[in-house]
Amino acid sequence: MKYYLIVGEASGDLHASCLMHSLKEKDHEAEFRFFGGDLMAAEGGTIVRHYRELAYMGFIPVLLHLPTILKNMKMCKRDIVEWRPDVVILVDYPGFNLKIAKFLKQKTSIPVFYYISPKIWAWKEYRIKNIKRDVDQLFSILPFEVPFFEVKHHYPIHYVGNPTADEVRRFKTSYDGRFPTFSKPVIAILAGSRLHEIKDNLPVMLRATDHLADRFQLVVAGAPSVPHDYYLQFFGNRKVEIVYDQTYPLLMNAHAALVTSGTATLETALFDVPQVVCYATPLPRLISVLRRILLKVKYVSLVNLIADSEVVKELVAADYSEENVRREIDAIIADGPQRNAMKEGYAEVWRRLGKESAPDNAARQIVKLLESSSLA
């Protein structure tokens, strides 16, 4: 069968490449064409546009590049129609992908499958109308999305397992122990992957741990696209180490962590590392008020959302301060009730995620659905 995939960022490239690999195992005649990245290209098929030509985030960058975005969207629609795939598989990236889904539903009979559903449970819940109208099958990687879609919105979906859990399991079974040796226990610092995140989060993280320098080694997980010198400006005279492309080995060897909210919070939990979730925002007091009004969920970290309880402390917006980070990191570096309770919460996260291989499970269901529809 012919599969057309669309992703808009690096994480989508990773998840889609794993799905493509699994699809090839289930469908030996699989053909691929895609808007994607290098990992997808390595699986074979034809890359039409690289996601770097699509990945504009924030109101101003999107506005400045609007002609390019519209040109890419027009090209994508035309390319799909000309290639005539058996299915279009959308991967996250809802701003672009939901518009493609609307076009396909209105102008073609090509089925639309969505792998890694849009996070409308956090914001833009109104998009459920578009999803119900334009998406034929939705595949979720977060277990709490099932009651959101099926109970609240009466829209059946497929929970297929979590790819981050798959990646952590694979790493743990193959890890050879290679990592720099330090004389003190390690506190990992995951300060985000974008320049503004690092600038806003890292200085507070470092100041909040200055009092631990004689007992712990601070190690920053360097983002691939951020040069070493950019980090150095925040280090000052501190003895901070930085490692690149070693986030999983770092977490494997960490005693505790300070983590900027995102997938990294889930990765840290799956490595059983006690953590404090940190996220600075502009106008923190205003954002704290707006968060209570606009955000549809109780938590911002995937760990707490999956567990449906406060497993890890979230210091966001007005709560994010040097004093608060210091208090929370002190509470989890010592063996005691808070550290032990967090690890018990992590065990519940593992239980809720399940043991399914997300790409294998999704590929099996995709092929089965397509074969059954073709026979109908």
Q: What is the largest CA-CA distance in the chain?
A: 69
Quick one: tokens of 136?
């034929």
- Predicted pLDDT at 374: 65
193 vs 105: which has the higher pLDDT: 105
- Predicted pLDDT at 279: 87
* pLDDT mean across residues, the chain: 90
Quick one: tokens of 248?
């999983």
CA 297 to CA 121: how far, in whole Å?
A: 7
Quick one: tokens of 124?
């833009």
CA 84 to CA 201: how far, in whole Å?
A: 46
- Predicted pLDDT at 283: 46
Look up the pTM and report it.
0.87
Q: Determine the residue type at 304.
A: N
pLDDT at 253 over 50: yes
CA 361 to CA 249: how far, in whole Å?
A: 27
Any idea which residue has 């977490």 for tokens? 251
pLDDT at 86 over 60: yes
Q: How confident is the model at residue 47 (pLDDT cuts 50, 70, 90)?
A: very high
- Residues 198 and 233 sit within 8 Å (Cβ to Cβ): no
Helix (H) or strand (E) holding 10: helix 10-26
- Predicted pLDDT at 141: 95
The string of DSSP codes covering 15-48 is HHHHHHHHHHHH-TT-EEEEEE-HHHHHT-SEEE
pLDDT at 375 over 60: no
Domains of the chain: 2-161+356-375 (3.40.50.2000), 170-353 (3.40.50.2000)
Residues 299-328 have a mean pLDDT of: 93
Short-list 343, 361, 353, CA closest to 269: 343
- Residues 41 and 17 sit within 8 Å (Cβ to Cβ): no
Q: How confident is the model at residue 287 (pLDDT cuts 50, 70, 90)?
A: very low
Any idea which residue has 């609240």 for tokens? 152
Digit-coded pLDDT (tens) for 110-140: 999 999 999 998 878 999 999 999 999 999 9
Residues 6 or more apart whose CB falls under 8 angstroms from that of 57 comprise none
Percent of the chain topping pLDDT 70: 90
pLDDT at 54 over 80: no
- Predicted pLDDT at 290: 44
Q: How confident is the model at residue 7 (pLDDT cuts 50, 70, 90)?
A: very high
